[in-house]
């Protein structure tokens, strides 16, 4: 791949990622280390619905071909986070924590792929 092509592709991914972050701030808040403990969250059903909507939007939105792997990891993270909230809502706290850990692992893969392209948070 020529350097110019890689820069162009990285720029497309950077712009795509910027749109994702702007549109889906609730996900980034909930997955962050600064988020309140999951069992302290209010309006869990609302968060579950927002994450389901986010998943659908990301799945259906245009995504640069070279960002498909990143999108795949992001969708897995969103799914695990939603499942974590569902388990918390059902008072299955251990299952909730397990799914939250899965979400964080998947999100760390997103971050790793972004860093490979020089795209920071």
| pLDDT tens string 2-56 | 445 555 788 999 999 999 999 999 999 999 887 666 555 567 888 899 999 999 9
- Nearest Cα neighbor of 67 from 106, 15, 103, 23 is 15
Helical H segments across 1-121, by residue range: 3-23, 25-31, 44-60, 68-89, 93-116
Q: What is the pLDDT of residue 10?
A: 87
Q: What is the pLDDT of residue 48?
A: 93
Going by pLDDT thresholds of 50, 70 and 90, the confidence category of residue 97 is very high
- Backbone torsions φ then ψ of 34, nearest 5 degrees: -85, -5
Q: What's the whole-number average pLDDT of the chain? A: 89
DSSP letters for 80-113: HHHHHHHHHHTT-HHHHHHHHHHHHHHHHHHHHH
Residue 81 has pLDDT above 80, yes or no: yes
Residue with token string 């927002």: 50
Mean pLDDT of 59-63: 94
Q: How many percent of the chain have pLDDT more than 70?
A: 87
């Amino acid at each position: 791949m020529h350097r110019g092509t890689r820069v162009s592709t990285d720029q497309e991914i950077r712009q795509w990622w910027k749109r994702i972050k702007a549109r889906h701030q609730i996900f980034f808040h909930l997955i962050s280390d600064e988020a309140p403990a999951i069992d302290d969250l209010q309006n869990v059903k609302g968060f579950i619905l927002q994450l389901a909507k986010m998943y659908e939007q990301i799945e259906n939105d245009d995504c640069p071909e070279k960002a498909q792997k990143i999108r795949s990891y992001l969708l897995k993270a969103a799914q695990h986070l939603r499942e974590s909230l569902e388990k918390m809502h059902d008072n299955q706290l251990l299952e909730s924590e397990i799914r939250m850990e899965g979400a964080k692992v998947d999100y760390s893969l997103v971050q790793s792929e972004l860093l490979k392209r020089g795209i920071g948070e």
